[in-house]
């Protein structure tokens, strides 16, 4: 199992339900071999921002991050969600360690540029320190990466959690047999967003483009799938999209090129 790696990204909406969160924690903790958890938390961050008088600003599922918003997401992602999950994993017998991209210079990013939309302090990833993360895995730690990166110049950046999970998985693909799973509130990618029983068991990139053009796939699913297909081209062994019931098993939607 030493040459395998399981990367699990869990959506913020899933983590807002205590019973489901506990189920996720137990299943993830029981997974044998090296593993990495990447939690979301966008809905919680939006609610806290609104409570503080700041209106969340989104574009195609991605958060536009001004300085005030950056403070909020750092508190939620790197603080509340990260440490709560670490404590829960420890209780489940999993020796978790909570990290941001700035810790150990694990994930280096730059402020997004070259787009029509000004995303503010949103970060696009430049590199992942696989050697440093591998040393934690070898030592028996399970990293829990929040959706905060940095530019090595003292600036924290908000980076989409799907992007972090996919980029970590892709970075390890040349040296490990990597399985990547996106866990969110739906049982998989749906051909009809209003029907949970319309799960697409196998989704090719061409099918995805057609469904996106028809409006069946939209909002937060777009960056999730865009990231997943980029990662799949790097040589990842398997990418699944599912709900919490299918963690670690081949159920939901399997992505293919």
Beta strands (DSSP E) in 50-114 are: 58-59, 62-63, 96-99, 107-111
pLDDT of residue 61: 63
CA distance 142 to 140: 7
**Within the chain, what is the greatest distance between any pair of CA atoms?**
48
Cβ–Cβ < 8 Å for 187, 143: no
Q: pTM score > 0.85 for this model?
A: yes
pLDDT of residue 64: 79
pLDDT of residue 152: 96
CA distance 33 to 163: 23
DSSP H or E run through 84: helix 82-91
pLDDT of residue 1: 59
CA distance 90 to 32: 15
CA distance 6 to 237: 10
Cβ–Cβ < 8 Å for 96, 142: yes
Q: How far, in Å, are 115, 184, 206 from residue 11 at the CA level?
A: 26, 5, 25
pLDDT of residue 174: 94
List the CATH code of the domain at 4-256.
3.40.1160.10
Beta strands (DSSP E) in the chain are: 4-10, 35-39, 58-59, 62-63, 96-99, 107-111, 123-128, 142-145, 148-150, 156-158, 177-183, 202-204, 238-242, 253-256
Closest CA to 107 of 169, 168, 154: 168
Question: pLDDT tens per residue, the chain (257 residues)?
Answer: 578 999 999 987 778 888 889 999 999 999 999 999 999 877 777 787 777 777 766 666 677 788 988 998 999 899 988 999 999 999 999 999 999 999 999 999 999 987 788 888 999 999 999 999 999 999 999 999 999 999 999 999 999 999 999 999 999 999 999 999 999 888 999 988 888 889 999 999 999 999 999 888 887 788 789 888 988 999 898 999 998 888 877 789 999 98
Collapsed DSSP state (helix, strand, coil) of residue 142: strand
Cβ–Cβ < 8 Å for 124, 60: no
Exposed, middle or buried by CB within 10 Å (0-12, 13-18, 19+), for 25? Answer: buried
Q: How far, in Å, are 17, 42, 100, 121, 217 from residue 45 at the CA level?
A: 15, 5, 16, 15, 24
**CA 77, chain centre distance (Å):** 11
CA distance 189 to 196: 9
pLDDT of residue 58: 67
Cβ–Cβ < 8 Å for 112, 119: yes
């Amino acid at each position: 199992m030493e040459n395998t790696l399981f990367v699990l990204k869990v959506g913020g909406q899933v983590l807002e339900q205590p019973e489901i969160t506990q189920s996720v924690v137990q299943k993830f903790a029981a997974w044998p071999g090296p593993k990495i958890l990447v939690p979301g938390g966008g809905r919680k961050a939006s609610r806290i921002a609104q409570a503080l008088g700041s209106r969340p600003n989104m574009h195609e599922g991605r958060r536009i991050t001004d300085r005030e918003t950056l403070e909020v997401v750092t508190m939620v992602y790197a603080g509340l969600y990260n440490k709560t999950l670490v404590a829960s994993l420890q209780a489940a017998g999993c020796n978790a360690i909570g990290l941001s991209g700035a810790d150990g210079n694990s994930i280096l990013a730059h402020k997004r540029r070259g787009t029509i939309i000004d995303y503010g302090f949103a970060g696009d990833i430049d590199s992942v320190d696989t050697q440093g993360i591998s040393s934690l895995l070898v030592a028996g730690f399970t990293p829990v990466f929040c959706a905060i990166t940095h530019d090595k110049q003292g600036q924290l950046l908000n980076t989409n959690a799907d992007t972090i999970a996919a980029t970590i998985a892709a970075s390890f693909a040349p040296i490990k047999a990597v399985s990547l799973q996106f866990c969110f509130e739906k049982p998989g990618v749906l051909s009809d967003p209003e029907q949970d029983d319309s799960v697409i068991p196998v989704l090719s990139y061409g099918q995805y483009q057609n469904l996106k053009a028809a409006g069946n796939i939209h909002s937060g699913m777009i960056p999730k799938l865009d990231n997943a297909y980029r990662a799949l081209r790097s040589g990842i062994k398997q990418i699944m999209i599912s709900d919490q019931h299918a963690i670690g098993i081949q159920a939901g939607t399997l992505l293919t090129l």
